[in-house]
């Protein structure tokens, strides 16, 4: 009796664990639309630091404070693109101006 039931219980347990994982993912909105996904990410970001602090207090450890990084990749990328585009837009007029100045200099030297 027991040797027959044990494989069945094992399979049912596995199906239960896997099905439960899929159900939890669906219930939390992880498999839904893009808006739900970004909401879940912002909730997780807000929930992680207090949870980490609680667990550290429970275990009696102290984590070193993470360094604050002032650098923002978005701002750096945008300012890089803007600088490049503005340099390209003034390049013809600047080239003309420098050519004119160079020509004047050569003319003055030849006088």
| 81 belongs to the binding site for other proteins (CB under 8 A) | no
Tokens 């027991």, residue? 2
For other proteins, give the closer residue by CB, 16 or 49: 16
| 12 belongs to the binding site for other proteins (CB under 8 A) | no
| 17 belongs to the binding site for other proteins (CB under 8 A) | yes
Among 9, 30, 87, 90, binds other proteins (CB under 8 A): 30
DSSP the chain: -HHHHHHHHHHHHHHHHHHHHHHHHHHTTTTS-HHHHHHHHHHHHHHHHHHHHHHHHHHT--PPPPPPP---HHHHHHHHHHHHHHHHHHHHHHHHHHHHHHHHHHHHHH-
| 22 belongs to the binding site for other proteins (CB under 8 A) | yes
Shortest distance, position 28 Cβ to other proteins, whole Å: 9
| 82 belongs to the binding site for other proteins (CB under 8 A) | no
What's the N-to-C CA distance of the chain in angstroms? 115
Binding residues for other proteins, rule CB under 8 A, total: 16
Task: Catalog residues that contact other proteins under the rule CB under 8 A.
Answer: 14, 17-18, 21-22, 25, 30-31, 33-35, 37-38, 40-42
């Amino acid at each position: 009796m027991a040797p027959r039931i044990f494989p069945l219980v094992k399979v049912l347990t596995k199906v239960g664990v896997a099905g439960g994982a899929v159900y939890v993912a669906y219930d939390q909105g992880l498999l839904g639309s893009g808006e739900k996904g970004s909401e879940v990410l912002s909730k997780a970001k807000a929930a992680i630091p207090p949870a980490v602090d609680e667990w550290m207090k429970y275990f009696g450890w102290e984590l070193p404070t993470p360094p604050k990084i002032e650098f923002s990749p978005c701002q750096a990328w945008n300012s890089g693109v803007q600088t490049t585009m503005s340099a390209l837009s003034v390049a013809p007029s600047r080239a003309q101006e420098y050519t004119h100045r160079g020509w004047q200099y050569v003319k003055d030297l030849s006088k």
